[in-house]
Structure 1
Amino acid sequence: MIPSDSGQGGSMEFAEVAVDAPLSLEKTLTYCIPNHMSVRCGHLVWVPLGRRPVQGVVFSVSRLPRILDPRNIISVIGPYPLLSTKNLDLAKWISSYYMCSLYQAAVLFLPPGFKGQVNAFISVTDGKNSESVVKDDEKDVVKYIGHKVAVTENIARKDIGTKRMATLAKLVRTGVLSKSWVISRKRSKPRFLLSISNGNIGDDLLPELDRTAPRQASLLRTLIEASQSIPAKELREKFGSTTLNVLIKKCLVVREWSRVVISKQIGKVQGKRDSIVLSSDQEMAVQEIGKALEEECSSQSFLLYGVTGSGKTEVYLRALEKCISAGRQGLMLVPEISLTPQMMNRVNERFPGRTAIIHSGQTLREQFDAWWGIWDGSFDVIVGPRSALFAPVSNLGLVVIDEEHEWTYKQQDKPPRFHVRETAIKLTQQANIPLVLGTATPDVTTFNRAQRSRHKLLILPNRIGHNQMPRKLARVYLVDMRKELMEGNRSPFSRRLSKSLSETVANGKQALLFLNRRGSATLVQCRDCGSILRCKRCDVSLTYHRDIGLVCHQCARRESPPEWCPICVEGRIRYLGLGTEKVVVELEGLFPGIKVSRWDSDSKSGKGDYQQIMEEFSDGRTQVLVGTQMIAKGLHFPNVSVVGVVQADIGLYFPDFRAGERTFQLLCQVAGRTGRGLDHGEVIFQTYLPDNYAIRTAAQQDYYKFYIQEMELRKYQRNPPFSRLVHMIYVHTNEETCKKEASTMARTLKSEIYKEGIGDLEIVGPVPGHPTRIRGRYRWHMIIRGLNPHFLLNGRIFPKGWSVDVDPVNVL
């Protein structure tokens, strides 16, 4: 039983705890620290909340409680705090800026698998007479629980249904049933190694043991001769467990526990390359970053803007070398898990045995071991996607974000909806260390900040060849697919692309084909009534995949391909559109006998599949690689001589103000995958919109020209960087309720804007989302646009169903 008050005198200490519960932003609850507990800021604890225990993080400790009669902390998780003071400060900023609870922000810093769960168990109350239950549905519930003896609430919900859970709750309130809570065990825990060392025994003891216990004497001599501790497992295997246990009881040996860190090597580690001579632009960039590293308390941020193949990675590595030589650690972030092996190879090559990798694609044990290895300071460089930003690096000296423009650096699916770039800026400012943002296609907002001297701009204007001499970018050809159709070509490949692929295959070179659509057919339509097969849970069309049938790319629902139309019951079903699967089939028919591989999220069936695809293409076993945006980011394949973009305008049709920017970035990035070897390289953009500014400037590979045109549009529309946005989405299973709630919230916010006289803030919407329904829930959304949208939202508690996304990367 948990006491409801501290029951102690004035010498007690009190903790402010951020708990795992829906509370207002930045709110903590006060708990009493029992005298037998040692609790400090950053500790993970179990505390009572209502009738159940919840997990929490201690944010402050004081001798004065904020409330009368606070309840006691139940227990402390772990012997020492898991969050440092700097972690807590950054969590407070994340909570305030991205409008999430303090606990949601603090969880980012916890070890993998440490977020505990509480299971609610239902049982029949002892001594209660169930005969007092008269209603049939209540009798059924009591009978079910009685047969189970004790059952978790989640299992009961599945067995008896959601509707009868209200009956179950009533029986708990009346005391017929009882509810209790059990704290689940952590899914993973640290590994420890037991070693044995000599206990400084006297010289006269060994002769005595030789006579009475020769095995014990032999074990002790082994320890003395080793002059260091020996793993207990080895000693048990050689001398037996009984012998070792007796010496431990006699206190003749010393036990030593040490945490075991297992760092699994990711990818191939190549031999160390010959020393690379930097270009003058690279040298200048390294010197500028080096100056910031040498200065104390320098939080200078750099934008390293370099065209594809200009040697940005080498600049990162030289900067990390300077950081490590100064006795500090470095953090390198990449946008995709699939890119970590290739980057890991480069980093391992430069810092062998001193590099850690951590990401959600690893097993829980691998993540756990890597996390604790970083905690112990066993690594100099940490590589990973956005979650690696919160790794427990104790002596951080430099943060590098590769491909800083990538939208995958933003967490969108759950709170906190933070962006790595903005969070890293705050982290490096708090730690007074430099930040390097690298890209060939900067985010418009980031480049605008560099233009206004908020970031120091470092430019690598030229590609670097094998002899370190500047070389031109690959030539880009723009093919108007409207003309191809008018001239009778109905193939997904233009005549120029087909010719280039034929020459590439014949010459033993490699090619990349980019199409940002998965599957075989993106639409399945009835030729008689014109209806399109759609997901029953989402407002999207189903995509046809050859191996698995019809799939919804929103909720992953699967259906078998129909033999006839479900609307008109006719059998003329047509598969329309183009995806990566169909491109592979077309290529295999066009070039029989060559190896074609596909790289998208569907091509991964097991762990290490992406790595195998990359290695086969890198080794030349695959001649043509077809993929989605995964193949457009940061990959280095010198033997690629042709890159074909099958549908260059596919991203322009989204109702999002960043559609043009994202299209330009993708096209420039994928164009940069060729021309990295001896061949100059050739890129072919197939499009139905050849005059669109994003496609035209991407074909010219002219970022400055794109930036000027994009900024004109942004200024006219008052979009970032000329304002800030907050994207609010409301979801509900009932369409009318969803619309009504969104409209009510919009009216409330507009009224407050008028009341406060905030002239620069405006509400755009509400309107149905795109798509309008996902997983059975309708979506209505609106945008708050202005210089300081936080002013309107601070202190506001949103009802269940609302999500708030500050600085969204899309507004669909």
Structure 2
Amino acid sequence: MYAEVAVHTPMARRLQTVATPELNSGSAALGMTFHYAVPADLREQVQPGSLVWVPFGKEQLHGVVVALTDSVPPGVSPRPIIDLVLPEPVCTAAQLELARWLSVVCLAPLLDCLLLMLPTGLALKAEPIFELTAQALRTLAQQRPARQSPQLAFATQEFAEALHPAGYLPQFPDLKPEQHILIGLLRERGQVPERDLARHELDLSRRSVLDPLIEQGLISRRRRIVDTPIKAKTERQVTLLVDQETIDRVLPTLGRSSKQADVLAWLAGQAEPATLKDVCDAVGCSPSPVQSLARRGWVEIDDGKVVRLLVPRADASERLIELRGGEKYRRVLQALAGEAGPVWIGWLYAEIDTNLATLRDLEAAGLISLGVEEVWRDPLAGKEFVADSAPPLTEDQARVWTKIQHAISNDTDSESRLKPASPGVSDPDGERQPGGGFVLENTSTEPDADSPPAFLLHGVTGSGKTEIYLRAIAATLQSGRQAIALVPEIALTPQTVRRFAARFGQRVTIYHSDLTPGERYDVWRRARSGAIDVIVGTRSALFLPLPRLGLIILDEEHDPSFKESQRAPRYHAREAALQLGQLTGSVVILGSATPSMETYHRAQVGQMRLLEMPRRIMGHARAIDEQQRRWHLATSVYRPVEPQLREARYTELPPVHVVDLRQELRAGNRSMFSRALHEAIGQSLAAGQQAILFLNRRGTATFIMCRDCGHVQTCEYCDVPLTYHEGRGGRGAIVCHHCGRRASEPERCPECESRRIRYLGAGTEKVSELVSTLWPQARVVRWDRDVTGHKDSH
């Protein structure tokens, strides 16, 4: 059996090896895979989607198995897979097909598309290490070398001993001084990474030093896996193993050795007083411990011969604990007895001021057990959500929900969309499909009669789209499947997850780039195991390996944040979601108040179903009445949605006025604010209200132009106009908003040396300055990337 593997190596390196015999020559360069033999001991474990270690040239790299085949192309002699990185596949069959689709559509390397499905840090690395062979160790164990050249030995010994404590090795008289030093270093440290040899002052990693030793069989080179920085989080826990009766019986025997305690324990077990000789013989001590007890007043020695116990036998246990120093053990046992189950060791340290040595003593006595338990890094841990129930639906919502509910109850089984591919399957044009493994029955975005439906939910802001999402998720969970809800920005995730968690509780989690690598790793593992039912996140959440995916929601599908534009593959989450929906038989809901042009066109021509909700729902009557009372809002704009739903209120969309600034200019208004805007802001401030002004430009002026020659200063790297930012003290800077390059404010034109430089355009800084000038009594806050560029800076 053979495996086709997408190897994790840089794209340039893959393209350079196109002509190698191991390359699957039938594949396009972007979908390049390599054939490897599956060892007999791994045949039951290696599956499509497995993450494996493979030899690649002289390196040991990891890759994803994209297909299993029974044959290889002629002339190929595949090398065997080394090992599995993880015992279970890291990608589902649908994810493998989605990666192939992304590779073709986005013109991206197949491996880069597969890496979208893996959490950051999962990919492991291997480093070369060197160690002495058994032959070298046997030779070093000899007292004298077999033969020795006196002159060479003297020179080598003097040089080697001067550079390394191991010094000259007479067992190897024919080696160079650097090789003597290397062998001595390996004998001293056992295994040495190649990077440490390279740091040595003689650079012991040179091939002239290493290769002769390897050829002679004195040292060996192999690769050691470097642990991934992301691991499962574990916590040491302490568990009480005995009941209170056992604690009371064993506690007096714990602690340090004490002859006084031995004497006291022996006397407490005797019914009658005993002679001093009998006590000493029974305990194996001198009279000194008995005399010490007598000075404490715990025993009495009559006439120097008879020892009598003065402490009540019921109190003897307390005296024994005191003599043996057992109080520290009692504190631990009492704390554990007060808890219902295992206790985190850190809590125990903080509560009773104990240490690991004390706990190990109790473990050795069989009273407790010390264990390690995995702890999920849940991004929602510690957060409380008030449970919520589904409200009654409006007429618009009920009409929309009926159609979505019907689609969810009749969705396509996820496995029916994929069928196993025969080894070496070809497409209709006769070219081999890169990656192999599964064949997608229909890869177009246009739904056929058997494909799961996609909906465009076109509802105005406040129309109740979220309630439709929640009901769709509830119906999906009821059918035993899972759901993904995508939002465009991380800032929207908390408010969305509050709504979802209030309805579905602990079945919800979040996933986005603001989580720590450990949190993302744990969410990925929980998703792969099927322990999560609902995931709310940004576009990266789409690639989590949910095994029973049945619903995909994109809220605000028009938002440009769903487009990955920084690195390959430059996919759009909307297109990927539609494709994943076909692969898994999932219903896809695209929601927006202002749909993108391409999505709305698809709905118009029947490629997806258009559902509309034109009326706004502002909320419950009691909440709106409270807002009106508190903020002195007008009451006439809110009306009941329907006669039978008087608790739900709605309002019409606010009026929008478009002002032609050309007419303003003809009327003599040279301000960047129209007269209508000026009047509206003044009225809002006079009424004690607030105003928000939006402008999609940062800075003070969008470009700088010379009035004599018309030259516009641009970035020398990006060839875009530089934006002027006014700094403190009146001295500003020109900034490129693409690469971040900064330069001081020019005093002369770089082309004609003219001082007649004009600042044109407007940005948020200029708007903020103008508002402060026109309304000095108003408190003005500018909110853009320049002032909120860090986490939580808002």
Q: Distance in 2 between matches of 1:532 and 1:118?
A: 52
2:6 counterpart (18, 22, 35)? 18
Question: Please, which runs of 5 or more residues in structure 1 have no aligned partner?
Answer: 1-12, 130-144, 153-167, 613-812
- Residue 579 of structure 1 deviates from its aligned partner by 1.2
Q: Distance in 1 between matches of 2:332 and 2:69?
A: 52
Matches of 2:204 and 2:756, distance apart in 1: 51
Aligned residue among 43, 50, 57 for 2:57: 50
**How far apart are 1:329 and its partner, in Å?**
3.2
Structure-2 residue corresponding to 1:106: 114
Matched AA of 2:343: I
Aligned pairs (5 A) from 1:608-627: 608-609=792-793, 612=794
Change (3 A) 1:275 1:520: same
Q: Secondary structure at the match of 1:304?
A: strand
Q: 1:535 to 1:119 in 2, by over 3 A?
A: farther
Matching residue of 1:85: 93
**Given the alignment of the two structures, is residue 453 of structure 1 paired with residue 633 of structure 2, yes or no?**
no
User: Which amino acid counterpart does residue 81 of structure 1 have in structure 2?
Assistant: P
* d(CA) in 1 for partners of 2:538, 2:355: 47
The aligned counterpart of 1:576 is 760
Matched, 1:409 2:562: yes
Distance 1:271 1:208 in 2: 48
Q: How does 1:256-335 map to 2 (within 5 A)?
A: 257-265=372-380, 276-297=391-412, 299-335=452-488
Per the alignment, residue 551 of structure 1 pairs with: 735
Which amino acid in structure 2 is aligned with residue 192 of structure 1?
Answer: T
1:474 is paired with a residue of what secondary structure? Answer: coil
Aligned partner of residue 493 in structure 1, secondary structure:
coil
**AA paired with 1:409?**
F
After TM superposition, the structure 1 stretch with the greater mean CA deviation from structure 2, 344-353 or 216-225, is: 216-225
Q: Hey, what does 2:344 align to over in structure 1?
A: 231
Instruction: Quote the residue 1:726 is aligned against.
Output: none
Q: Is the 8 A contact 2:377 2:518 kept in 1?
A: no
TM-score (normalised: structure 2): 0.62
Aligned to 1:188: 230
Whether the aligned pair in 1 keeps the contact of 2:411 and 2:587 (CA below 8 Å) is no
| Equivalent position to 1:595, from 764, 775, 779 | 779
Please say if residues 109 and 391 of structure 1, whose CA atoms lie closer than 8 Å, have aligned partners that are also in contact.
Answer: yes
Q: Work out which of the residue numbers 645, 669, 682 in structure 2 matches 1:502.
A: 682
| Match of residue 512, structure 1, among 692, 698, 704 | 692
What is the letter of the counterpart of residue 97 of structure 1? V
Is contact 1:15-1:31 (8 Å) kept? yes
Write the deviation string for residues 189-220 of structure 1: whole angstroms up to 9, x where unpaired: 32122334466999999956763567879967
* Code of the aligned partner of 1:231: W
Over the aligned positions, Cα root-mean-square deviation in angstroms equals 4.2
In structure 2, C-alpha distance between the alignment counterparts of 1:596 and 1:151, rounded to whole Å: 65
1:521 Cα deviation from its structure 2 partner? 0.8
The question of whether the paired residues in 2 share the 8 Å contact of 1:201 and 1:252 is answered with: no
Structure 1 or 2: larger strand share?
Answer: 1
Letter in 2 for 1:558: R
Distance 1:445 1:187, change over 3 A: same
CA deviations 1:749-798 (Å, max 9, x no partner) are xxxxxxxxxxxxxxxxxxxxxxxxxxxxxxxxxxxxxxxxxxxxxxxxxx
Identify which of 655, 659, 669 aligns with 1:475: 655
- Farther-moved stretch of structure 1 (209-218 vs 551-560): 209-218
* 8 Å Cα contact 2:723/2:735 also seen in 1: yes
Whichever residue aligns with residue 294 of structure 1, its letter is S
- 8 Å CA contact 2:702–2:762 kept in 1: the answer is yes
- Distance in 2 (CA, whole Å) between partners of 1:268 and 1:501 is 40
Q: Which among 534, 537, 545 is matched to residue 381 of structure 1?
A: 534
**CA pair 205-266 structure 1, distance change in 2 beyond 3 A:** closer
Task: Classify 1:580/1:234 alpha carbon distance in 2 versus 1 (closer, same or farther; 3 Å).
Answer: closer
Q: What CA distance in whole angstroms lies between the structure 2 residues aligned with 1:267 and 1:500? A: 45
The aligned residue for residue 418 of structure 1 is 571
Match of 1:399 in 2: 552
In the alignment, which residue of structure 1 is the partner of 2:139? none
CA contact (8 A) 1:269 1:349 kept: no
Distance 1:363 1:97 in 2: 31
SS of 1:511 mapped into structure 2:
coil
Partner secondary structure for residue 318 of structure 1: helix
Aligned-pair CA distance for 1:254: 5.8
Partner of 2:584: 431
Which residue in 2 is equivalent to 1:70? Answer: 78
Stretch of structure 1 that moved more, 71-80 or 215-224: 215-224
Shift of 1:433: 2.3
CA, structure 1 residues 279+242, in 2 after alignment: closer, same or farther (shift >3 Å)?
Answer: same
Alignment of 1:518-667 (within 5 A): 518-547=698-727, 549-609=733-793, 612=794
**What's the offset of the Cα at 1:535?**
0.6
8 Å Cα contact 1:20/1:55 also seen in 2 = yes
Amino acid at match of 2:8: D
- Shift of the alpha carbon at 1:423? 1.5
Whether 1:340 and 2:524 are equivalent positions in the alignment is no
Letter in 1 for 2:55: P
Kindly tell me: are residues 295 and 72 of structure 1, through their superposed partners in 2, closer, same or farther at Cα, counting changes over 3 Å? same
Please say if residues 459 and 593 of structure 2, whose CA atoms lie closer than 8 Å, have aligned partners that are also in contact: yes
Please name the residue that 1:59 is paired with.
66
Counterpart contact for 2:240–2:367, Cα < 8 Å: yes
CA distance in 2, matches of 1:92, 1:74: 25
Q: What's the offset of the Cα at 1:112?
A: 2.4
The offset of 1:282, in angstroms, is: 0.9
Q: Structure 1 274/228 Cα, relative in aligned 2: closer, same or farther at 3 Å?
A: closer
Give unmatched runs, 5+ long, in structure 2: 15-28, 130-174, 179-197, 214-220, 256-325, 414-451, 620-639, 642-648
Residue-by-residue CA offset, 1:167-203 (whole Å, 9 max, x unaligned): x99x999x9xxx9998765343321223344669999
In structure 2, relative to structure 1, the CA distance for the partners of 1:219 and 1:325 (3 Å cut) is farther
Residue 363 and residue 502 in structure 1: after superposition, are their counterparts in 2 closer, same or farther (change >3 A)? Answer: farther
Structure 1 residues 255 and 120: CA distance shift in structure 2, 3 A: closer
Which segment is superposed worse, 542-551 or 257-266?
Answer: 257-266
- AA aligned opposite 1:433: S
Work out the CA distance in 1 between the residues paired with 2:755 and 2:224: 56
Summarize the Cα distance change of 1:182–1:544 in structure 2 as closer, same or farther, 3 Å threshold: farther
1:206·1:217 contact (CA, 8 Å) conserved in 2?
no
Cα pair 2:733 2:744 within 8 Å, conserved: yes
Q: How far did 1:544 drift?
A: 1.2
Aligned to 2:167: none
Deviations 1:398-423 (A, max 9, x none): 21101222333222332222221222
**Residues 393 and 250 of structure 1, relative CA distance in 2, 3 Å threshold:** farther
Aligned counterpart in structure 1 of residue 597 of structure 2, from 440, 444, 465: 444
AA in 1 matched with 2:36: Y
Q: Alignment partner of 1:575: what SS?
A: strand
Where do residues 62-211 of structure 1 align in structure 2 (5 Å cutoff)? 68-116=76-124, 185-197=227-239, 207=249, 211=253
Question: 2 CA distance for matches of 1:352 and 1:573?
Answer: 61
After TM superposition, give the deviation of residue 116 of structure 1 in Å. 4.7
- Go from structure 1 to structure 2 and tell me whether the alpha carbon gap of 1:355 and 1:497 turns closer, same or farther (over 3 Å shift): same
Find the residue that maps to 2:656 and give its secondary structure. Answer: strand
Would the aligned equivalents of 1:236 and 1:244 in 2 still touch at CA under 8 Å?
A: no
Query: Cα distance 1:274–1:49, how it changes in 2: closer, same or farther (>3 A)?
Result: closer
- Classify 1:252/1:432 alpha carbon distance in 2 versus 1 (closer, same or farther; 3 Å): farther
1:54-82 CA-to-partner distances (Å, cap 9, x unmatched) read 33112234676667543344453344332
TM-score (structure 1 length as normaliser): 0.61
- Percent identity, aligned pairs only? 37
Within 2, Cα distance between the matches of 1:488 and 1:117?
Answer: 69
Partner secondary structure for residue 96 of structure 2: helix
How many correspondences in the alignment?
Answer: 562
C-alpha distance in structure 1 between counterparts of 2:366 and 2:37, whole Å? 40
Determine the structure 2 residue equivalent to 1:804. Answer: none
